[in-house]
Structure 1
Amino acid sequence: MVAFVGRDRELGILDALLTEVRSAGRDAKPGQCLLIRGRRRIGKSSLVEAFVDRAGVPAVFFTAAGASEAIELEAFTEAVADSVLPDREIFAEARPGNWSAALRQLAGVLPDDQPSVVVIDEVPYLMEKVDAFEGILQRAWDRELSRKPVLLVLVGSDLSMMEALGSYGRPFHQRGREMVLGPLNPAEVGTMLGLEPAAAFDATLVTGGLPLVCAAWRPGADLWEFLAAELANPVSPLLVSAERSLAAEFPEQATAGDVLRAIGSGERTFTNIARAAGNIAHTTLTRAAEILVRKRIVAAETPVATTPSKERRYRVTDPYLRFWLTFVRPYLPEIERLRGDLVLQRVRTGWTAWRGRAIEPLLRDSLARLLPDDRLPSAPVIGSYWTRSNNVEIDVVGADRAPVARELLFMGSVKWLERSPFDEHDLLALQRHRAAVTDDPIPLLAISRSGVQATGLHATYGPAELLTAWSR
């Protein structure tokens, strides 16, 4: 049950689709298809397995492994033969010679008088290894599978490839509905771990909301108790999850891995990333950055402003991966020597500075979910602003559009310290930075972990209020 805190909505969607299949009656095409995408180790397979277990209908669950086409076909054949489909023995007696035959044969063994579920996990592996797999899948769906009362669930961790599978111009376009499975949000993490709002945000930064990592957190334990236990265990989920995910993402792309590590270490500008990645060439870095952005591992951001800017900055999108790249990966040899205590001390030393910047995207997302309220309007875009020299930095900027805004709606500052509230000095700095960007009296806001001791702000937000945005 631990892995499914906050997954009621997704299970409800799966239940509803199966109900549609069941109630389709004698429709010519009663079948339904769902495409599920989400990062590795986010709980996609576990979610679908839980659904299949509780559905109580004939089902087959196949997971591709990135092997050759012949090996994948053999594994698929065995998965069907070992399933609970009524006529599964046909696969044991007559083994298909290719994927077209396999899917056609699968349709033949699906029951006509009751619903069934077919799950193909890690579909991007098949898209890579099987020639014209998308076309094969489309023909099988149109001609055979959709004519059976079946729910076909296609699952994948490569976000860009799964998005492309259902996109316009591709063979499987409009054949299935889509679900994006994200991590547990801060409210779900707080509920799962029994934490107060501020601590729930901290836990989200460290675990990334990954169910497997969260499951290792003893409910009620604080951040430092959790880290002490995890860093003392060389095979803990906190330590190994990122390594396994990156190995799967970049098996043959060493340069992309080098660039990711440079960004994860805190470098944000193109020049500094190139230097930290080993002084790699401009074109090499551009290609690597494009891969990382396409895979949604890295975000490439520009200042939110009414004028164009080329001051692009990069950040790791997953807070857990960002934490791991900063505090864990460089010191894995120490952890393997059972000196996690040394790593823990480094986390304690660098935590406040690291958290101050890492928390900002999460708080901006929280604010976007919270607005509008009686103080500020909703904003289609909530980002930040900076100059090349960093002499002007604004943590929160709301605007009507991006990348170039017509209108700026509000500006704000984040101060996320345990015992230091947002005060008059912080407000003065925010006002000064606003004046450097615009002459308009744009509303100002403060986001503070420890309260606000300043007057003249249009709005203030703290951990408890921001956490409620995730419970809506």
Structure 2
Amino acid sequence: MSLFVNRSEELEFLESEYSRDSSSLVVIYGRRRVGKTELVLRFASGKPSVYYLSQKLNLEHQVDDFLEKTTEQLGTYQPKVTKWDAALKFIVQQIEGKPVIIIDEVPYLIEGSSAAMSAFQAAWDLYLKDANVMLILLGSSIGMMENEVLGYRSPLYGRRNGQIKVEPLKFRHVRHFFPQKDAEEIVRIYGCLGGVPAYLNKFDQNLPFIDNVNKNILQRATFFYDEATFLLKEELREPTTYELILEAISRGKNRVSEIADETGIHVHNVPKYLRVLIGLGFLSREWPVTLKKSREIKTGSTYALSDNFMKFWYTYVFPTRSMLEINRGAIISQISSSYDHYLGHVFEEITKQHLIDLNAAGKTPFVFERIGRQWGKVPGKPKNENTYEIDLVAMNEGSKEILFVECKWQTLTGKNSRKVLRDLKDRSKFVQWHIGERKEYFAVVAKKIENKAELKENGAIAFDLEDISTDME
């Protein structure tokens, strides 16, 4: 059985819209498998409602298919109408109380007929907006939903009461899917699957992480085996080009010029592909968090895989697919031996999420406004040594307070943790932000820290996976 976790804010918003004494149009979108349909069905449970999963049909056949499916749910006859306004009016008239009409995968309607959204505009303006009804439009194609449904040129522009972009769950939610597993194992799962509920529901609670990978990802007939390819084919017209870009970034080619050299794509064309992948939630664009000027951000930007499953796939599976049938054991050994190193960046993201939660709860030394990675050049150093990196930096411009954070996916002893803190303080001197005016804080975060009390006594912030897990309870 699928587990439904979190989404309390989304459900609260939907309930508030339903309680209105007037009609409400809500648009819900997000990447595939993220739980949009589960969210809406959970909200609609116990309410007078109909649900329709759209098909790629022409306009007249769309209406016919909608009526066939929804009249079957209501146990009524199917009228002979060919327009959306008449069809929706008929369905509303068959429902007692305030009806909820859910239309899923709206992009399929748009692909079937370019006039679909104009038809919905007519239906809303002519009847639905005055009928005390709640209309919910869902879609997985983020670009199409943002442009064709929410965008300025959409016929529905200005008519919606609200929109929800459903994001993957955070690390703190993943434990609910695996109540018997310890925190370290949950980090391993999160590093592979991220916060996509449909993925998390596929892993076996009773299997160790590497056995779940072997059983569910590396076997040809499984759900996950072609999932990355399927996601690209569903969303994009040129999936091969995007595959090349994702593979290049997974190998550490994270600047536009490097991606162009690695893939053979002309350097002027690379940014448009990157923007699409960012819109889909597969990539993120990063720049040193202290930068504010747009020109500096543009030249200083790098790109990283932000979807944990896609990152895992393009790191471990995509490059070795030809070997899977020949020597799967070698691939499993490769994952087992390198995965702790791989989890370093995953743990940075988990730490960032935790600090944001602490900040919102007023449990940080100051209220920060920005948080992210920081890197830059070190003056006077040889070329191969002239850069520095800091895992996370959080800051408040008004109070000139700044927090430097070092994350380690390892166990730190007293000697090691003191060295980590010293190195962090040394690198913080290269950060050109309110020099001489700022108030500085330093944090060491690790899988386990054996001398947390000592670090705290010396003025540092220190927490480890045990503390993060405790705070989540």
| Cα pair 1:382 1:397 within 8 Å, conserved | yes
Q: 1:110 and 2:92 equivalent?
A: yes
Q: 1:269 and 2:276 equivalent?
A: no
Q: What are the within-5 Å matches in structure 2 for residues 446-461 of structure 1?
A: 446-451=444-449, 453=451, 455=455, 456-461=458-463
Identify unmatched segments of 5+ residues in structure 1. Answer: 25-29
Q: In structure 1, what residue type is equivalent to 2:141?
A: D
Going from structure 1 to structure 2, the CA distance change for 1:174 and 1:58 (only over 3 Å counts) comes to closer
Which residue number in structure 1 is paired with residue 46 of structure 2?
55
Distance 2:119 2:399 in 1: 46
Aligned to 1:114, the other structure's residue is in SS state coil
Aligned to 1:3, the other structure's residue is in SS state coil
Which residue number in structure 2 is paired with residue 397 of structure 1?
393
Distance 1:6 1:350 in 2: 32
Deviation at 1:460, TM superposition (A): 1.4
Residues 279-309 of structure 1 deviation map (CA, whole Å, 9 limit, x = unaligned)? 2211121221122223332111111125653
Q: In structure 2, what residue type is equivalent to 1:391?
A: T
| Cα pair 1:414 1:447 within 8 Å, conserved | yes
Distance 1:367 1:245 in 2: 31
Which residue number in structure 1 is paired with residue 195 of structure 2?
209
Which residue number in structure 2 is paired with residue 181 of structure 1?
166
Distance 1:304 1:409 in 2: 11
Aligned to 1:367, the other structure's residue is in SS state helix
Deviation at 1:338, TM superposition (A): 7.2
Which residue number in structure 1 is paired with residue 423 of structure 2?
429
Distance 1:252 1:118 in 2: 34
Aligned to 1:442, the other structure's residue is in SS state strand
Deviation at 1:221, TM superposition (A): 3.6
| Cα pair 2:27 2:160 within 8 Å, conserved | no
| Cα pair 1:36 1:44 within 8 Å, conserved | yes
Q: What are the within-5 Å matches in structure 2 for residues 131-150 of structure 1?
A: 131-150=114-133
Q: Which moved more, 1:314-323 or 1:236-245?
A: 236-245
Residues 241-281 of structure 1 deviation map (CA, whole Å, 9 limit, x = unaligned)? 3332222122335323321232233322222222222x221
Which residue number in structure 1 is paired with residue 351 of structure 2?
363
Going from structure 1 to structure 2, the CA distance change for 1:80 and 1:243 (only over 3 Å counts) comes to same
Residues 130-158 of structure 1 deviation map (CA, whole Å, 9 limit, x = unaligned)? 33543432331132123334321111112
Distance 2:197 2:335 in 1: 22
Going from structure 1 to structure 2, the CA distance change for 1:375 and 1:176 (only over 3 Å counts) comes to closer
Identify unmatched segments of 5+ residues in structure 2. Answer: 378-383
Deviation at 1:385, TM superposition (A): 0.9
Aligned to 1:437, the other structure's residue is in SS state coil
Which residue number in structure 2 is paired with residue 6 of structure 1?
6
Q: In structure 1, what residue type is equivalent to 2:131?
A: K
Q: 1:198 and 2:184 equivalent?
A: yes
| Cα pair 1:183 1:210 within 8 Å, conserved | yes
Going from structure 1 to structure 2, the CA distance change for 1:263 and 1:71 (only over 3 Å counts) comes to farther
Deviation at 1:216, TM superposition (A): 2.4
| Cα pair 2:68 2:78 within 8 Å, conserved | no
Residues 36-71 of structure 1 deviation map (CA, whole Å, 9 limit, x = unaligned)? 11110112123333444x325241x22234455565
Q: In structure 2, what residue type is equivalent to 1:395?
A: D
| Cα pair 1:197 1:467 within 8 Å, conserved | yes
Q: 1:41 and 2:41 equivalent?
A: no
Distance 2:66 2:102 in 1: 11
Which residue number in structure 2 is paired with residue 27 of structure 1?
none
Going from structure 1 to structure 2, the CA distance change for 1:2 and 1:248 (only over 3 Å counts) comes to same
Q: 1:463 and 2:454 equivalent?
A: no
Distance 1:253 1:374 in 2: 44
Which residue number in structure 2 is paired with residue 80 of structure 1?
70
Runs of 4+ in 1 over 6 A off after TM superposition: none
| Cα pair 2:281 2:307 within 8 Å, conserved | no
Q: What are the within-5 Å matches in structure 2 for residues 119-268 of structure 1?
A: 119-164=102-147, 165-166=149-150, 170=154, 171-194=156-179, 195-231=181-217, 233-268=219-254
Deviation at 1:12, TM superposition (A): 4.9
Question: How many residue pairs were aligned?
Answer: 448
Q: In structure 1, what residue type is equivalent to 2:409?
A: W
Question: Could you tell me the TM-score, scaled by structure 1's length?
Answer: 0.84
Question: Could you tell me the TM-score, scaled by structure 2's length?
Answer: 0.84
Distance 2:58 2:411 in 1: 53
Distance 2:291 2:86 in 1: 56
Going from structure 1 to structure 2, the CA distance change for 1:13 and 1:464 (only over 3 Å counts) comes to farther
| Cα pair 1:234 1:338 within 8 Å, conserved | no
Going from structure 1 to structure 2, the CA distance change for 1:156 and 1:393 (only over 3 Å counts) comes to same
Aligned to 2:290, the other structure's residue is in SS state coil
Q: Which moved more, 1:264-273 or 1:294-303?
A: 264-273
Going from structure 1 to structure 2, the CA distance change for 1:116 and 1:334 (only over 3 Å counts) comes to farther
Q: 1:378 and 2:367 equivalent?
A: yes
Aligned to 1:417, the other structure's residue is in SS state strand
| Cα pair 2:99 2:133 within 8 Å, conserved | yes
| Cα pair 2:67 2:78 within 8 Å, conserved | no
Distance 1:46 1:331 in 2: 34
| Cα pair 2:403 2:442 within 8 Å, conserved | yes
Q: 1:281 and 2:266 equivalent?
A: yes
Which residue number in structure 2 is paired with residue 411 of structure 1?
404
